[in-house]
Amino acid sequence: MNLLNKLSRLLVAVGLCSVAGGMGWGIRGQYGHESGAMIAGLLVSSVVAFLYCRETGCAAGTLRAVAWCTTAFGIGGSMTYGQTIGLTQEASVIGNWASWCWGMLGLAIKGGTWIGFGGVFLGMGLGGIRYTRSAILFLMLVLVLFYHLGVWLLNSPFDPQNGLFPAIYFSNPVHKPRLECWGGLVMALFVGLVYSRYLFGDVLAFRMGLFGVMGGFIGFPVGQCFQSWHAWNLDWFRSGWFAHWDPLINWWNLMEIIFGMVMGGFLGLGAWLNRGLIRPSVEDTGCQGGLFREMFLLFIHLLLLSVSEFSNIPIINQVYGLGLGMALIPMVACARSSNWSAFLLGPIIVLPIAGKTLRRLVYEGQMEPALGWIIYFIAPMVLSVLFVFVILTGIRRNKSGSWVGALVLFFGSWIFNCLNFAFFDYPWFWNPWTARTPSAMVYSVFLLILMLGAVVIARKWGTEEIQK
């Protein structure tokens, strides 16, 4: 392969992962922390799978890798970051460079930790190392243990009434101070890196974890640079050409899109540089452990997930409000079950997104409930179940991992883009523009790029081993 060919394929990997990350993380902004972030994990990991898992028979292993990465992207959602952003752009700190730098440092740490988890578990799924359910269960329990230890060491004390705050604090200690947990996740991520690299010799997990850390560490501050630049220079946007366009730009969502593009690009770069290590398992992982146990775990997880997302029961919210707690059952269940992996990438991830869209348009809007339930909840859930049937059929027919990546990418890109477009109140470009119109147009362009890119790659490269 000549240098120009290698460079073109590097640009394809980085570019498609960047577009997938930008769309996924931008859509995440409408739906919240853990469940919303999983959208970005699904899209980026499916691009990696499509590009580099072309061996026939590795569909089940590839599906597990995408499911693990998708779940891991939700872990960082436990962190609070709104006030950290505030340190860089609130009116009271405009012109205060010390506050700006401190806020950016906090965003870098939180962003690197967030995406680092996704990189580690993507590598664990693609590196060819066979992790048993017991190994994953042990890892998740250890991560929870070190999470609490890290919160105690780095995010304590926290007693606002008596003016006690951690030595390193990235939120506002005066106005509605928030309990931070980034220290616990930093320690848990470090343990995950060590566990995969030195206990299992998983080089790919370690390297992809580091690329995830770099992507989040750089991506979050870079995205926020644009939003804080706007906040620090409002006078520029009150006259002339800027005055017309400023009300039509959602600067917060722009920050999220740029963050997603940078972190996705880094994960794509990591996958390309380590493409020789990508070898998802080719053995069958279809239904080990019994269908009854799988369905029981699925029922329990969906129940707890629904309660935590749409109600306020403290004891459940304390467990599933923690990203690591929400991830425990899926991580363990997907370790030896392609059925579970398929359900996670279908109904499990669609349920909270469809539910929040339904709540936004029907119960917070003016749409007739019966029609809203059919369009925004029942129809997406039916499609997600159909997706499960198709992908499991493909695994039984010995499809390639690339086929799995393409199917997940197609399904996820369309269903989440459509739900988000509805959440935005259908901002068609020919209607009067709002602050949501440019973002919706960006997502549509990204969707077009992903679909055309996948078609062109499939036709041009075919079954050629592009990882060489």
Note the pLDDT tens digit of each residue in 338-375. Answer: 999 999 999 999 999 999 999 999 999 888 999 999 99
In a domain, 439, yes or no: no
In the chain, count H helices and then E strands: 19, 0
Q: Sort 240 into a burial class: Cβ within 10 Å, 0-12 / 13-18 / 19+.
A: exposed
In a domain, 236, yes or no: yes
Q: Residue 283 is encoded by which pair of tokens?
A: 């053995």
Count the Cβ atoms, other than its own, within 10 Å of residue 367.
17
Asked whether the predicted pLDDT for residue 465 surpasses 90, the reply is: no
In a domain, 395, yes or no: no
Count the Cβ atoms, other than its own, within 10 Å of residue 156.
17
For residue range 420-442, list pLDDT tens digits in order.
Answer: 999 999 999 999 999 999 999 99
For residue range 385-424, list pLDDT tens digits in order.
Answer: 999 999 999 999 888 899 999 999 999 999 999 999 999 9
In a domain, 169, yes or no: yes
What percentage of the chain reaches a pLDDT higher than 90?
Answer: 76
Sorting pLDDT into bands at 50, 70 and 90, what band is 460? low
Pick the range with the lowest mean pLDDT from 167-181, 236-250, 440-454: 236-250
In a domain, 459, yes or no: no
Task: Report CA torsion sign: 417, 216, 153, 176.
Answer: negative
61-214-178 Cα angle (round to 5): 100
In a domain, 191, yes or no: yes
- The confidence score (pLDDT) of residue 462 equals 54
Range of the structural domain that residue 59 is part of: 18-338
In a domain, 379, yes or no: no
In one-letter notation, the amino acid at residue 462 is G
For residue range 245-261, list pLDDT tens digits in order.
Answer: 888 899 999 999 999 99
- First CA to last CA across the chain, in angstroms? 8
- The confidence score (pLDDT) of residue 467 equals 45
Chain mean pLDDT for the chain: 92
In a domain, 160, yes or no: yes
Q: Smallest Cα–Cα separation from 72: which of 28, 26, 117? A: 117
Q: Residue 268 is encoded by which pair of tokens?
A: 């794509």
* Backbone phi, psi, residue 164, to 5°: -105, 120
Tokens 């580690």 locate to 120
Tokens 């269940």 locate to 333
**Spatial contact of 285 and 337, defined as CB atoms under 8 Å apart:** yes
Domains of the chain: total: 1
